[in-house]
Structure 1
């Protein structure tokens, strides 16, 4: 009998107090949630450059990991591109574990205690998300936020895919998009002279000489410590801190909580650069032969601090013609599309055509399943791409210069001519993220890529994609390296040559 972890028990107790009718569903969802998180963790253990692992070798029934202290971990043959929960048990020497938090606790390696707590929260929150999810309608969603709220499990490869530290059960139910709530954003008026504003801040969010900044209620209560008299209803999107205003734009709010990997604020430099970056995005889209749209930033404002800031962006649905739908790539696996056997390769060809074209031009998109959306025909065919949130792209002045494109005034962290950095940014997000998450397995990804690349121009970037190991963020290593800032990387088996087992 599995003994509930501390996080599992705490969530159960809170749930019994606020939504007792969900307790049976939560309990039933826990084994599957443990397997889902354990599968993600095993991907990291099997492929990331973890300093306390001394070696990896094939075993009789799977993979054997040798720890630097002589202990051994045994698990199944790893598929770094699998999205189903295929790992239910791993063994540390002779002890079997079905709970990723307990496994990480007993590994007792540097920083494992904190990471174990995160894994426990990820399991408990994932089970809560699955217990509270609604059965999706068979027809396609009619609104942008309905598409986004179909994503229940979060990041397909991150072990802390649903860890939400600092959120009570009541707050997860009230703000988590998978629970389908309507969130009442607070409206905080600030004298215009105290605000940094970029772009055009709408008149509907002005009050005389004051700028009205939308505030997430979690941020208002936990960080700003203030009540908001005026409120605005909105629907949370999959990033949780970005919400859709009914009939209007999307608003990205400041939310000073760590979601998945890090605390993502809205920095003052990003506010200042938002209008320039938005114009740059339109110039990029114009060079993609009609295959790419980039959502415009309508306005951005910060009241002297990243803790009180917001960005307004147009909805990706603005780029759908009659009968078309715009779906986040992360939501595709949750929806029964009328797909033909050729659909995965068609989508991969579209995504690689756009991604590699922009990379050749000098821009590496962070095209993961949240930033990247696809325009679908009435019959489900992938037609065009929509990209949102340019905050984490990388831009090469040298490549842009070769194409006669001037470099805009961008934040320094975005600018690099390092080909390895540029390729990591695109390939790690698009291929190891969006395409892998959509394919669902190494075998399916290989088949889609083999077909997709046949007619693509043979550029040095494509050669690197086909010949080199595939870069992917080392998500487990990053969570176990609290003193290291920025991204850390792993190298996955090249998917074009993927062979299971």
Structure 2
């Protein structure tokens, strides 16, 4: 077996003190990596005590402090349990995956380490930064752990921290956009992009195009000829800041002229979680059709649920994907008066002032949450064949002055699937993973963690059972649910869009 670096036994007193940031970075990074390992390849073993024990491919025994956020991994070696640090856990995961798949992969372990190091850089940057005072912006910029079931949720493509920290939401970044002039005869656009023309006055023969400054750095060599021959010109920066959201490449402009707010989604030529985050040509070419279908579905769903429409895109024909920008609806036109939107992923991970943690009545809070989130997603599927990618990062939940959920807002047409382009069974599986496994069960887990006397599963079963879909009875009685295998997907270098699922014990099953 491969050597795995071990820490001194947890009961010992000779461990050297570690930097607080290093300890916290390890703690954040270990959680999603363990979640992936335990869900995708580990086999639970009968064992005494309160720490679950698992056998890994290759034969090693691993035990952890269990729960929604597993921690403190230990490996059985030399006749005793010995602690494993983050570096050792990365080696352990790589060894297990080689045994499980027969494949070698040198890229993913580097991403795992890079993700942990990125967390450390973010923690240090936060210490010198001022968090946003707006609760919505704080929720978007609060995710230090990130995707709870991804092996490297904070990896930033392996570049130096100084290159990306100025644009990192987790470091409370805000920055102006770069404004480009694109020669008019090279512009490609579709849909409503009129908001981009409000950025200023383009020189004769040019059109305005905002650009993400990090993307300009990443593509500087490729774009140099266009700057040299005049197809592109620099016009300065926006006179207002934008705030990167949890998606990193999507920014929120609360002060966009003339007095409106909107979101702008850019390409970033860097791998974040499973994909290089470009706005790919094939996705852009179907954007209007997809967004129109969702918009029409939400007209049937009706308020207060809202869809933040991707109105259109603009780019240049010589850098179609590199310079593309999608214009997305802002919040104010759709938000209920007096309501405060919050990112669902932040409610699951936790952030200062979270109403999930603070609510004195978790049952009422959860029922209101389900009333806001579940009907729009299931109705759009049942009535219009729209499969929303309603996972934690694509859902905003607005709360009233007392913190009770009153509205759900959904976003990102790129991840939407339409029936019958996608077979119904495949569409339903994707919906169940995004809405139930990735989203609702994570919120339920957080709620139970903060309010241990309350079991949220009964209310979730009731909320789903209200909908007359033929798939619902099986959802509530099946022994398993589909869980996306992000660890195996990255280890085998599969396309990020090629979701693969592993059966996960169904906590909604009547036999649970």
Q: Find the aligned partners of 1:136 and 1:179 in 2 and give their Cα distance.
A: 7
Q: TM-score, normalised by structure 1?
A: 0.81
Report the Cα offset of residue 167 of structure 1: 3.2
The 3 A distance-change label for structure 1 pair 484 and 286 is: closer
Q: Which residue is 2:248 aligned to?
A: 240
Q: Find the aligned partners of 2:26 and 2:438 in 1 and give their Cα distance.
A: 22
Q: Which residue is 1:158 aligned to?
A: 150
The 3 A distance-change label for structure 1 pair 498 and 35 is: farther
Q: Which structure carries more relative contact order (alpha carbon 8 Å, separation 6+)?
A: 1
1:473 matches 2:469: no
Q: Find the aligned partners of 1:289 and 1:229 in 2 and give their Cα distance.
A: 42
Report the Cα offset of residue 56 of structure 1: 4.4
Unmatched 5+ stretches in structure 1:
6-25, 398-414
Report the Cα offset of residue 100 of structure 1: 3.6
Q: Which residue is 2:236 aligned to?
A: 230
1:377 matches 2:400: yes
Report the Cα offset of residue 484 of structure 1: 5.5
User: Any idea what SS the aligned residue of 1:482 has?
Assistant: coil
Q: Which residue is 1:43 aligned to?
A: 35
Q: Find the aligned partners of 2:29 and 2:135 in 1 and give their Cα distance.
A: 30
Q: Deviations over 1:278-334 (max 9, x none)?
A: 322221111214242101223311212211110111223432233211111112231
- Counterparts of 1:85-234 in structure 2, within 5 Å, are 86-91=70-75, 93-94=77-78, 96-106=82-92, 107-108=94-95, 109=98, 110-133=103-126, 142=134, 144-202=136-194, 203-205=197-199, 207=202, 208-225=204-221, 228-232=234-238, 233-234=241-242
Q: Deviations over 1:188-229 (max 9, x none)?
A: 221232222011222225724423222211211121335845
Check conservation: 2:378, 2:467, Cα contact below 8 A.
no
1:295 matches 2:283: no
Question: Which sits farther off after the overlay, 446-455 or 259-268?
Answer: 446-455
Check conservation: 1:373, 1:386, Cα contact below 8 A.
yes
Q: Find the aligned partners of 2:446 and 2:253 in 1 and give their Cα distance.
A: 36
Q: Find the aligned partners of 1:323 and 1:201 in 2 and give their Cα distance.
A: 29
Correspondence for 2:493 among 472, 482, 489: 482
Q: Which residue is 1:309 aligned to?
A: 324
Q: Find the aligned partners of 1:40 and 1:364 in 2 and give their Cα distance.
A: 26
Report the Cα offset of residue 239 of structure 1: 1.2
Q: Which residue is 2:362 aligned to?
A: 341
Q: Which residue is 2:422 aligned to?
A: 416
Q: Deviations over 1:98-128 (max 9, x none)?
A: 3344233255323353222111111111222
1:275 matches 2:288: yes
Q: Find the aligned partners of 1:318 and 1:136 in 2 and give their Cα distance.
A: 31
Query: RMSD over aligned Cα, in angstroms?
Result: 3.2
1:459 matches 2:469: yes
- Counterparts of 1:26-65 in structure 2, within 5 Å, are 27-48=19-40, 50=41, 55-61=43-49, 62-65=52-55
User: Any idea what SS the aligned residue of 2:157 has?
Assistant: coil
Report the Cα offset of residue 152 of structure 1: 2.9
Kindly tell me the number of residue pairs found equivalent between the two proteins.
450
Q: Find the aligned partners of 1:499 and 1:190 in 2 and give their Cα distance.
A: 61
Q: Deviations over 1:63-112 (max 9, x none)?
A: 32142x4x223223754xx1x4x311231644734334423325532335
Q: Deviations over 1:339-387 (max 9, x none)?
A: 2222123313432222222222222211112111112112111112101
Check conservation: 1:291, 1:354, Cα contact below 8 A.
no
User: Any idea what SS the aligned residue of 1:430 has?
Assistant: helix
Check conservation: 1:443, 1:498, Cα contact below 8 A.
no
Q: Find the aligned partners of 1:216 and 1:122 in 2 and give their Cα distance.
A: 22
1:320 matches 2:330: no
Check conservation: 2:64, 2:72, Cα contact below 8 A.
no
Question: Which sits farther off after the overlay, 312-321 or 434-443?
Answer: 434-443
Q: TM-score, normalised by structure 2?
A: 0.79
Q: Deviations over 1:227-264 (max 9, x none)?
A: 84511232211111111224231111111100122112
